Amino acid sequence: MSAAWAVIVLTTMDGGAARAVDVLARADQQVSLHVAVREEGAGRCVLYTDAPKVRSGCVVRGWPKGWSATWYKVESAEAAYDNLAGGRFAFAPIRWTRSRWRDAVSVEADVTPILRQGLPEAWKAGTMRYQVAVSGPGGGVVWSPGLEEAAPGGPKRRNDIRKVTLRWADTYLGYMAELAGLPYVFGSAAQGREPHQAERRVGVDCADLMVYGLRRMGHDVAYRSSRTLSPVSRAVVPRITARKGGVYLFEGAPITVGPDGVRPGDWLVFEGHVGAFVADRGQLGVLDEQDLLMHIAWRELAVEPLLRSGYGAAPFEIRRANALALESAN
């Protein structure tokens, strides 16, 4: 294949036409990836692909015999980055690693990390970037665009590569799960005219994860630190320092989990950290060490018991985002 050829990653959702676009979808929707080879020259454009329906300005032809494709998942090379290293803000360079995934022309999208594990497999949520290599019968190889350089703050929108982002439900927690598999970025922020690193799905810190879910639900909430969440939330249970038999206590009594107590999506705000309550486990009906917390802290997003989170013994308060409190009241 000559320099007139370019490899493109197309996407389809729920059987729609294939397009060269990123995808935001629920985990129960069918998202597929299709490789396409574009030939340009002499005033013509031809697109070779096996996608059944294609939206393109080029002439579309079937996948040629003798050509093969190999897919790669492109993930952050590190579990965590620090924009505040040395005490001064500077966007940390985000490094990327390409891992061989499948040999096929078209594949069903899969956001499960190869390098590390994030959310429970059953949720099948998160963000993944993809690159594909096409080999012709003559032995030449042409690649789709990749992320070869460690750009400070992650790739700009114009330099990014194909992404698929899946949420596990149209809920606050479900939207936050879109960031599974991405690295923790301490001090994640907007970058000039580029959106916030969370919005570009590059990486996120603990408080920005909480805000991201609200923004994906349509609430205009600015990104902020874990220490400045009070203006956009209200207290459910003040400072909690006591526990007995693994059960957390307030004024000597167990803290209730349920409609009149702690609810999924409520924030557990620690000193310098925050996570969201996910589900009641262990002793049902009360908040205890086995209950699940969604958070991100110097590694990828995790859903795990408070006991294993590293914060199970730390004092905390429980707060509810104003936007979520208003939605539940309505």
In this predicted model, what pLDDT tens digit does every residue of 40-81 receive, in sequence order?
Answer: 876 789 999 999 999 888 899 999 999 999 999 999 999 999
Provide, rounded to the nearest whole percent, the portion of the chain with pLDDT above 90. 88
Task: List phi, psi (to 5°) of 147.
Answer: -110, 90
Domain spans in the chain, listed from the N-terminal domain onward: 5-77+94-168, 226-329
Contact present, 70 and 37 (Cβ < 8 Å): no
Which has the minimum average pLDDT: 31-45, 159-173, 212-226? Answer: 31-45
Query: Helix (H) and strand (E) counts for the chain?
Result: 3, 22
- Quick one: which of 77, 75, 122 has its CA closest to 95? 77
Q: What is the pTM of this model?
A: 0.94
